[in-house]
Every structure is written in C-alpha cells, then in structure tokens.
Amino acid sequence: MKTKRFFASLLFLIMTATMCFHAFSPVASAFSDETGSISLTITDSQTDETVENVAFHLYHVATARKLGTGITYKYNDPYDECNMQMRSFQNEHLPLHLLVFAVERSLNYTRLVSDANGNIVFDNLTPGAYLIVPDYETTPHFTISPFIVSTPLYDEVSGEWVFDINATPKIEYRVPTDTQEMTYITVKKQWESKTENPDSVTVSLLRDFRKVETVTLSEENNWSYRWDNLSKKYAWNVIEENVPDGYIVSYDTSSNTVVITNEKPFDDETTTKPEDTTIPDELIETGQLNWPVPVLATAGLLLFSLGWAMLNLGKKTNEEQ
C-alpha cells in the first residue's frame, strides 16, 4: 500500500513538472506589422571614399518569427527546396548556395544602385532573412561576396528589437590583370547515409560567384574532381546543384579543397520520413532566452521532492522494522 502511494505521488510530481515545462516553454510568434530596412554603405577600403553606381540584388529567402529574444527562420517558398540548413549566417557557403539556387530558378529580386554617397536603402521589408548579391557587371575592379542580413535584430543593451539594419559589404580587390599566377581547386563528395545513395551529383565551379562550369561526381571519378590553371585574378568556389531530395548539404573548405557532404536526416531504417519534408525552423539566437530559468527551477523542485519522498519512505520502513 505504501509503495503504491509513493509511486502515485511520484507520478503526480512528474505530471506537475511536465505541465510547468509546457507552460514556460517558449512559443514562436509573428512580429507585429512593423517593417524594417537594410542600408548599405559602399566604401573603398583603400581610399575610404564612397563608391557610387554599384548595383545590388536583394532576395527575401526566409521569414522570421520571434522566440523570446531569439529568432526562428523558415525558408520561403521555394527556398525550402535548397536543402541547406540556416545554422549560421556566417557560413560562407550558405549565401553562395542560395545564390546559385536563386539564379538557376530565376527567382524574383529587388535591384538598387548606390548613390553619390555610396548608399543604398532597401526599405519596407517584412521581418526575415535577406540574401544580398552585388551585380558583378557593376564591380569591374573589385568583388563583393554575397551575404545575408536579417531584420530585425535584438539589442541586448536597450532591450528592444531593431528593424533598421546597417551593413558594410566587404570589398575584395582583384589581383592585377597582368598576373600570370595560377591556382587550383579540388572538390570531394562524401555521404553520411545508411541507405543507398544516388549514383551521381552535380557540382558547379564559380568564378567571382558566377557559374562557369559544371561537372558530375560519381564512383567513376571517385567522387572527386580537380580544376587546374585557374587564374588568381578571380575568386573561385564550388557549389552542389540540385541536392537530392531528402538530403541536407554542408560544405567544409580547407586550403584549396572543398568537401561537400550530403546527410540524410531521416535515415533510420525503422523510421519513415514525414510528409512535410521542408527544412525545419532554425533558431538563430540574437539574445538570451529566459525560458530555461523556470524550467530548471521546476526540475530542481522535482528532484528535491523525489529525494524528500524517498527519504520519508525509508524512515517509515525503518520504524516499522
């Protein structure tokens, strides 16, 4: 009888803790009707002078929802088919991957040109993540890497959301055109999957972030390819195109080698992939989330209660003996 009472009390405590956990768990919610802006200032890093007549393309790739002082992002249609997770905007391959995806599908973008002060302002933007790509026809002497900017961002100092974001693109000057120096780039493909993988994949060579050549990787070439005699006048990158359905792609660059990995998240033989195969929301923390505090407090209370109940049960057992 006493044992039954103990386990009944234990079950009650667990149910109470579970209810408290759900009560304090954060729920992602939409931002208000506020819109934001992204301002760019194009400055020559060598002369500190502003640069005019440089065009930029703006792609709206993901929608943002707030989660405490953090943000979750969900790809917009059809970017949810790009099969690369938004784990970090600092990943240099994410904007490249999204750029190739957007160009291949001729997705819509907004185009603006820097004014006499080197300024560009994209305004009336709904909360989300935006891919910003220079129009390389307007940057003959330098290159600017594509990058991602989010609006809004959380300011921990003021405790407020900032919807108007300022960004300064990184200008990379070209090597003098008369240089004869050459380089190479190697791409290697690997799989992280327990099931049978596709017979081949397609990868593209990018020169100054624009596709110039495509090759197929398969067992025939040992899932590897090397491009030689590449002029150092340009920036070279490699991106996988048309990532197979059900796989997530990631990139790892070391020296002149790019390793592309395809992973299958739902790869358990006993588990079937859900109908909704879109990449899940990604939490990009822009501040401290407050929800763990009450959850941890509840967990501590649970452990204390369990210890107290077990101690009293032991005392009663000893008294009866």
Decide: helix, strand or coil at residue 13: helix
Task: Give the whole-angstrom CA distance, residue 206 versus residue 96.
Answer: 9
Give the chain's domains with CATH numbers.
Answer: 36-173 (2.60.40.10), 182-263 (2.60.40.1140)
Alpha-carbon gap, residue 199 to 220, rounded angstroms: 10
Confidence of residue 221 (pLDDT cuts 50, 70, 90): very high
Percent of the chain with pLDDT over 90: 50
Phi-psi region of 199 (alpha: psi -120 to 50; beta: other; left: phi over 0): alpha
Residue 97 has what pLDDT?
94
| Predicted model pTM | 0.75
Q: Which residues contact 26 (CB under 8 A, 6 or more apart)?
A: 67, 68, 289, 291
Average pLDDT of the chain?
Answer: 79
- How sure is the predictor about 310, in pLDDT bands with cuts at 50, 70 and 90? low
Contact 234, 172 (CB under 8 A): no
pLDDT of residue 88: 67
Over its C-alpha atoms, the chain yields an Rg (Å, rounded) of: 26
Q: Can you tell me the mean pLDDT for 135-161?
A: 86
